[in-house]
Amino acid sequence: MSVATKASYLSSTTCPTRTVVVLGGSYGGSRAAQVLAEGLPQGWRVVLVDRNSHRNHFYNFSRYAVLPGHEHKAFIPYKNFPSCSLSDISSCSSHVRVQATIISINSHRITLSPNLPGSQQSHLDLDFDYAIYALGSHLPQPIDLWNHQKGVKSSLELPTISMYGGTKSEGISSLRERQKSIEAAKSVLIVGGGALGIQFASDIAAVYPQKQVTLLHSRRRLLPKFDDAMHEETLQGLQELNVQVILGERLDFESLQHKSAMPGSSEPRVVRTLFGREISADLLASFSRLTRNRLLCTGQTPNTGLLRNMDPRTVSPDTGLAHVLRTMQLCVPPPSIEPLEFQTDDILQCQKTLYPNIFVVGDAADAFDAIKAGHTSYYQAEVAARNILRLISRDEKVRITDGGNLDSELEEYAPGPPAIKVTLGMTKSVYEVDGVVDTKNDGVEDLGVAVMWAACGMRDVSEEEMFA
């Protein structure tokens, strides 16, 4: 039996067409859906599933959470994928998008739910032939509109919307609430010196130069995955904006629980590091995940819980990342290979996949030391989508044995060199591309968001049209 036939034995009994589901409509998922829609043969459809009504341009959230007037531009319509309701999804034969929350996944089926509790719509099972899992990671607290980090709370933290449902209007309201909190604070502590934390700190300092802004980072270097010059240029840019930068220290979790001022007092709260350094702040924005063992872990937690529930072997217990082959197919590593060793071992040490029809891309994938970024997710998604098209078009030529041996004709992903651009205030930025580090001073307030709208199929949009 060919892989396409074997993969579709469930879906073909209930749907008029064969289905590729793309789970997540961000940078990787949107690109995968586009490549598939352009290349699938007749009788196939793409179903793009995302819990948001609009594509969220996450990289601009930190700027728009500080600077008023541009927040609506971060939510971009899905132009090329018409919306389909949950109740009609099984009968939609063309490429569609459905706004829903994914409850579970197995080898050939996903279960979907409406976003908000109390909805009249019930859960729905959708069978698929192939799936691309592009659910990324949970964002750090200051830009996490869905409020995932519920374990640690402090009166210093930014506000959230308790019943968030993923609509554009809710997203705009949430960013505006953050703007108000930042404007009202006299001093702000940002925990975590990754790119988003750096940009958040520098934006606050640039928009509100009278505020005391402190950036606390557990490592002794900013942006440690990049050239030393990136650290030096970034540190200089922060200091030019009068941001106090504290490196090599972690925040003491217990200090968040102690009230250092009387109720109603205008005095700032005082927190401390594990080294005992005291920091006063009205507002805390954590770009690292606060945990009860007092450690600051990675700010973006891989969103792989659905895969772990399906098969715990597919997800590393150490990193939370999904194991993949270089074809981007979900993989179960051999028992003899330890999870941390599997991260760097050559792909030939894992030649089998129990899930040849499920691909994982982006921040959720353990993709051979590729940096976690939108552009890497984009390229991984292209590889995954092209491999699905190959498997479909070579129904009789490309075969995977019952053991799931990797077919050599599939395309393999290889990470490119690290690349990044980090803003340092409204106009200055530092970047590394192909090993070259340099700065620019050509920035604009909305971060040139029209380029992203154009990439999503909407060129020359007006300011008014961006409210859509």
Q: Are 461 and 453 in contact (CB under 8 A)?
A: yes
Sign of CA dihedral 142, 144, 149, 155: positive
**pLDDT tops 90 at residue 441:** yes
User: pLDDT digit string (tens) for 334-362?
Assistant: 875 445 444 444 443 466 789 999 999 99
**pLDDT tops 50 at residue 2:** no
At residue 127, the pLDDT reads 96
User: pLDDT digit string (tens) for 3-39?
Assistant: 334 334 333 344 458 999 999 999 999 999 999 999 9
**pLDDT tops 60 at residue 399:** no
Q: How confident is the model at residue 50 (pLDDT cuts 50, 70, 90)?
A: very high
Q: Are 191 and 184 in contact (CB under 8 A)?
A: no
Give the Cα separation of 67 and 81 in Å (integer).
Answer: 31
At residue 453, the pLDDT reads 96
Give the Cα separation of 369 and 32 in Å (integer).
Answer: 21
At residue 301, the pLDDT reads 87
At residue 121, the pLDDT reads 67
CA-wise closest residue to 74 among 63, 87, 88:
63
User: pLDDT digit string (tens) for 167-195?
Assistant: 999 999 999 999 999 999 999 999 999 99
Residue tagged 């949970």 (tokens): 138
**pLDDT tops 60 at residue 407:** no
User: pLDDT digit string (tens) for 410-438?
Assistant: 999 999 899 999 999 999 999 999 999 99
